[in-house]
Structure 1
């Protein structure tokens, strides 16, 4: 009917298109508002869309839309903001209909967290907890604490955001909700979220902590008297939180962890962090800082927390676990993709703990069993997370060889010297060294960084591969690389094997490493670094010059001699035979100058990295007879499938 009448058809604003509408609003309207800060866009956006042109749908929103001389203006924090150009405003509201339907309004306002500009959201860790995941958490709390938990426990969420973690609670008078941003409190009041709850602004990691680390509520005078009294009287208190996941280094260097949750400079410099000088790495994590203050302030609290699993089984959190006495009661893990804005694929745990920091007896966290939910919060199974002593970790299996005085060129890739100038490692070699291995971390999250180089590795997390530890190095390389990382096994720790290792397994691992894509051993002359030219030698060619038709002598025949007395399995032999054909194909032709320069093909003793990449470039050029990788890939796949179950059978990983 609207089309027949020639009426304008505008797009409604709904939960499904909120983010797209916001982005377009910022582009067409927000950027034209003079003097506004990025973090204020969401407040002005909601003031605009929740206004029908005459009156606002909500009282007490943080910002207001007004009209002055027939033009829209915004009022926020006592200041009037004008549009530099009104054309974008007119065009935008020719596309969209406002206000949203009444049934959507409160829900949309609750999504303010998701509309904070990405830098601020990452800094504050203000990620919205999906309501279907909230539902599951309440089910788990009822299952664990009993059906009357909402009546029996005082709840404090000290990083409540706009309160969506509490909207399922049926007894809001038992709830205390605090948040870093006062604007969140304003939104909760405007949306009438948990009206009977006590809602207040509070910086939990900084407020009320004196210079000696004591809690003194008189410093900020923000904590309600009823909550103070409940804590003082030792009432049953449930801390229900989804704290920030942000992490920062202690020395202001940015690091990005492999789960892609971005680490942020400065976010960990709180008053709580200053109390954690002996906690080491754990002090970087904001969610752990929450646990540390809770332990001091409410030592017998029950805690139900959404967080990453680091504090359960990561080696760097061993000191924290020794000081934190908590009994695991139950919980689940859910795919990180359930949460808007989180990058990467990893488990977010909702774990329930009964803490007792007043006891002198240790409560060790050895293992926890969790329900597993997919990204749609549907149950798909169970998962065991184990915390084992550091002496059992695979990272402690190989005795590290100390560097000698021989200079080495630090590499960042197969034939690429480092370009970094700060804290450069890998500038020295070692007695008996034939390579270096990139091997940071001890879990599957870091396993995709594992690689082999023909000189030093320019950063931390490497060790020397020698003629003495080569068999162990090949096993470590293979075990870390052969199991595919998934969102669920992200934090699983590699372990020292618990079963005897056969020669066949050792040799299979060696061949698997030699022909893996992350074997970056290579040879090259005249690499330039630190105002000097360097040569690197490849010790990892498993063939003689005659076998592959090389045009000159290899400087090292180490690998040929090493393999001479080894009895290889049929699977390993198949990989070796297929690999030989590719090496022969490489030496059959000479590559064009551009490829020779890129891959540093200026020596005969090239590495697997150089061979396979040169062949692929020939195939892409169409100027050479095509070389098929299929026979090799099939043989390598067979060896891979043989080794994968053995990683678990031999105890390198726990199921």
Structure 2
């Protein structure tokens, strides 16, 4: 029996879209969700929640980062420091490639071991996850541990409630035993926790810079507004500028009145697309998807 078959793909006008390979067997490869279950969050304070779903493209819109559990049949995993990197990889692998009618049934798989040593891939995925639209962390539902900048960098009016992400990016987790954050969130035996500052790819640096400009714009423009919060997450910043409709759904960026914000958000989204393309290469190299 053939293990795969390649077919020609055409659009509605008969124009060729290349070839698409379909697999009749995955040769015993495990699902990415089974791989996800191998990572065990510790009993430390939870940083957030990873929401997961069936391992195919058509369910990628259910993959997100939340502050709290929600009601539903989805998979919910507590994010603690030891699983932040693999959970970021899961999130980024699921979101870096756009779902289409061609790939909507493709299955995400358990990767080979090569991803474990690729620290640049780790950093790329972490930054992609921090600034992606499906990251719904909000300071209105608890402490926001996901601010990757210092107060000075973004002109925040007050000190943040958590400096976790700054410490994580700087590799200060295990060394900084005097930090209140460290006492509650870190232990020496945790895996995938950097012991020195992360090194970022050029694509990740562009996302970080674009994200910084949005945070800085918020802290500059919103300090005197009634909904200003120095601990605002990216989701909160988008909500501030874009607002919500009468059904409680956030308005699209086009509805924002602040042109500078829209320009900065456009720059961030462009940088995220470039980072996604870089991560996509590793998705196939490490076997998260079959070509």
Q: 1:388 to 1:577 in 2, by over 3 A?
A: same
The correspondence for 1:477, drawn from 77, 82, 91, is 91
User: CA separation in 2, counterparts of 1:400 and 1:499?
Assistant: 14
RMSD: 2.9
What is the match of residue 583 of structure 1?
215
The question of 1:555 aligning with 2:161 is answered: yes
Q: How do residues 313-352 of structure 1 correspond to structure 2 at under 5 angstroms?
A: none
Q: 1:605 aligns with which of 227, 231, 241?
A: 231
Distance across 2 between alignment mates of 1:402 and 1:579: 28
CA distance in 2, matches of 1:538, 1:522: 7
Number of residue pairs aligned between Structure 1 and Structure 2: 248
1:395 alignment partner in structure 2: 33
The question of whether the paired residues in 2 share the 8 Å contact of 1:436 and 1:457 is answered with no
After superposition, the Cα gap between the structure-2 partners of 1:515 and 1:611, relative to the gap in structure 1 and judged at 3 Å, is same
What is aligned with 1:453? 66
1:103-136 CA distance string (max 9 Å, x none): xxxxxxxxxxxxxxxxxxxxxxxxxxxxxxxxxx
Counterpart position of 2:76? 462
In the TM superposition, what whole-angstrom CA distance separates every residue of 1:543-595 from its partner, at most 9, and x where no partner exists?
111211111221111100000111111211121111111100001122897xx
Change (3 A) 1:555 1:498: same
Higher strand share: 1
| Aligned equivalent of 1:344 | none
Superposed, which structure 2 residues align to 1:76-225 within 5 Å?
A: none
1:639 matched to 2:275? The reply is yes
Contact 2:39 2:83 in 1 (8 A): no
- Alignment CA distance shift 1:437-1:368 (3 Å): same
Paired residue secondary structure (1:497)? coil
Q: 2:108 aligns with which of 491, 494, 497?
A: 494
Change in 2 beyond 3 A, CA 1:652/1:621:
closer
| Distance in 2 between residues matched to 1:390 and 1:431, nearest whole Å | 35
Q: Distance in 1 between matches of 2:231 and 2:41?
A: 27
Matched, 1:440 2:53: yes
**Structure 1 residue 488: deviation in Å?**
1.8
**Could you say if the C-alpha distance between residues 648 and 588 of structure 1 is closer, same or farther in structure 2, counting changes exceeding 3 Å?**
same
Shift of 1:516: 0.5
Partner of 1:151: none
Aligned match for 1:568, one of 200, 205, 209: 200
Corresponding residue number in structure 2 for 1:260: none
Change (3 A) 1:522 1:376: closer
TM-score by length of 2: 0.75
Question: Could you say if the C-alpha distance between residues 395 and 544 of structure 1 is closer, same or farther in structure 2, counting changes exceeding 3 Å?
Answer: same
Deviation at 1:389, TM superposition (A): 6.7
1:302-335 deviations in Å (ceiling 9; x for gaps): xxxxxxxxxxxxxxxxxxxxxxxxx67xxxxxxx
Corresponding residue number in structure 2 for 1:510: 126
Whichever structure has more helix as a proportion of its residues is 2
Cα distance in structure 2, aligned partners of 1:536 and 1:561: 19
Q: Deviations over 1:123-157 (max 9, x none)?
A: xxxxxxxxxxxxxxxxxxxxxxxxxxxxxxxxxxx
1:55-98 deviations in Å (ceiling 9; x for gaps): xxxxxxxxxxxxxxxxxxxxxxxxxxxxxxxxxxxxxxxxxxxx
Q: 1:488 to 1:619 in 2, by over 3 A?
A: closer
Counterpart pick for 1:615 among 199, 219, 241:
241
Which of 362, 369, 378 matches 2:5? 369
Aligned mate of 1:539, from 125, 141, 145: 145
CA contact (8 A) 1:439 1:462 kept: yes
Structure 2 CA distance for partners of 1:551 and 1:377, relative to 1, 3 Å: closer
The Cα of 1:645 is off from its aligned counterpart by: 2.0
What's the CA shift for 1:455?
1.6
Q: Deviations for 1:354-408, whole angstroms, at most 9, x for unmatched residues? A: xxxxxxxxxxxxx3425355476968644222533776221122335479xxxxx
Shift of 1:503: 0.3
Max Rg structure: 1
Q: CA deviation at 1:431?
A: 3.3
1:635: how far off?
Answer: 2.4
Structure 1 unaligned residues grouped into runs of 5+: 1-326, 329-366, 404-429, 525-534
1:539 shift after superposition: 0.8
* Structure 2 residue matching 1:392: 3-state secondary structure: coil
| CA displacement 1:239-269 (0-9 Å, x = unmatched) | xxxxxxxxxxxxxxxxxxxxxxxxxxxxxxx
SS in 1 for 2:114: coil
Distance in 2 (CA, whole Å) between partners of 1:547 and 1:449 is: 33
In structure 2, what is the Cα distance between the partners aligned to 1:388 and 1:493?
Answer: 9
Which of 265, 280, 285 aligns to 1:649? It is 285
Q: 1:584 to 1:446 in 2, by over 3 A?
A: same
Unaligned runs of 5+ in 2: 171-196, 244-252
**Aligned residue for 2:182?**
none
